[in-house]
Structure 1
Amino acid sequence: MEIVVSNKASRPLYEQIVLQIKAQVMSGDLKSGEALPSIRSLAKSLQISVLTVQKAYDILQEDGFIETTAGKGCYVSVQNQDFYLEEQQKKIEGCFNDAIEIARMSGIPLDKLISLLTLLYEED
């Protein structure tokens, strides 16, 4: 598992860790049941605070991406990838519904909304 963090990035360090681990789970680079580095070892390898890694792992556990077993460590959740994708799609649908409501109230046509989404998606 490779994680790279930067103090110069706009996102907090814990969020960078969360996003990278989620991406690795979603892509299949991290498999169900696979052990994650201990909080201390990841903090040491990234040269950051143990509390920062703990916060990242707590968020990953809340979101269902990892499971923690006392005395044994943290593992990628055994839930399948389809579950993760479904959860993410639900979040996106909620955001889209909000955007569509604003667009309709503002008189923004669908083609402009699609163009905006395409532009924003391809920007990163």
Structure 2
Amino acid sequence: MNIRISNASSDPIYIQILSQIRQSILNGELAAGDSLPSIRQLAKDLQVSVITTKRVYEELEKEQLIDSVVGKGSFVSGANQDFIRERRMKQLESKMLEVIQESKALGMSSQDLIHHLTLLLEEE
């Protein structure tokens, strides 16, 4: 598992780690049953706090992307990937509705919003 942390990123470290592990699971780079490094090992490898990696693993468990077994470690969940993806799409839609509401409050047209989103996507 190759995780890169950027100090230049505006995202907190735990979000960077969480996003990269989540993507690896959803892209199939990490398959159901694959083991993840222990919380302490991941913290050591990334040179971050154990609290940070613990928070990441807890969030991944809430999303049902991983299962943790006391004394054995954490493993990629065997949950239905389509179900997980659908749930994440609903979360994304909710965030997009917030953006739409905010853009309306700012008096932006739909064309302005699309243009701004396109610029952000190109920067990414």
The aligned residue for residue 116 of structure 1 is: 116
Q: Please identify, of 97-106 and 12-21, the stretch whose mean Cα deviation from structure 2 is larger.
A: 97-106
Q: Which runs of 5+ in 2 are unaligned?
A: none
- CA separation of 1:118 and 1:32: change in aligned 2, threshold 3 A: same
1:48 maps to 2:55: no
One-letter amino acid of the structure 2 residue matched with residue 32 of structure 1 = A
Deviations 1:40-67 (A, max 9, x none): 2212222222222112111111222111
One-letter amino acid of the structure 2 residue matched with residue 49 of structure 1 = S
- SS of residue in 2 equivalent to 1:74: strand
Q: TM-score, normalised by structure 1?
A: 0.83
Deviations 1:55-111 (A, max 9, x none): 211111122211111111101111132223212211121122223334445543322
Alignment of 1:1-124 (within 5 A): 1-104=1-104, 106-124=106-124
Percent identity of paired positions between Structure 1 and Structure 2: 42
Q: CA deviation at 1:6?
A: 4.1
Tell me how far apart the structure 2 counterparts of residues 103 and 43 of structure 1 sit (CA, whole Å): 39
Contact 1:35–1:74, Cα closer than 8 Å, also in 2: yes
- SS of residue in 2 equivalent to 1:54: helix
- SS of residue in 1 equivalent to 2:36: coil
- CA separation of 1:36 and 1:116: change in aligned 2, threshold 3 A: same
- SS of residue in 1 equivalent to 2:35: coil
Contact 1:32–1:80, Cα closer than 8 Å, also in 2: no
Query: Root-mean-square deviation (CA), in Å?
Result: 2.0
Q: Which runs of 5+ in 1 are unaligned?
A: none
Q: TM-score, normalised by structure 2?
A: 0.83
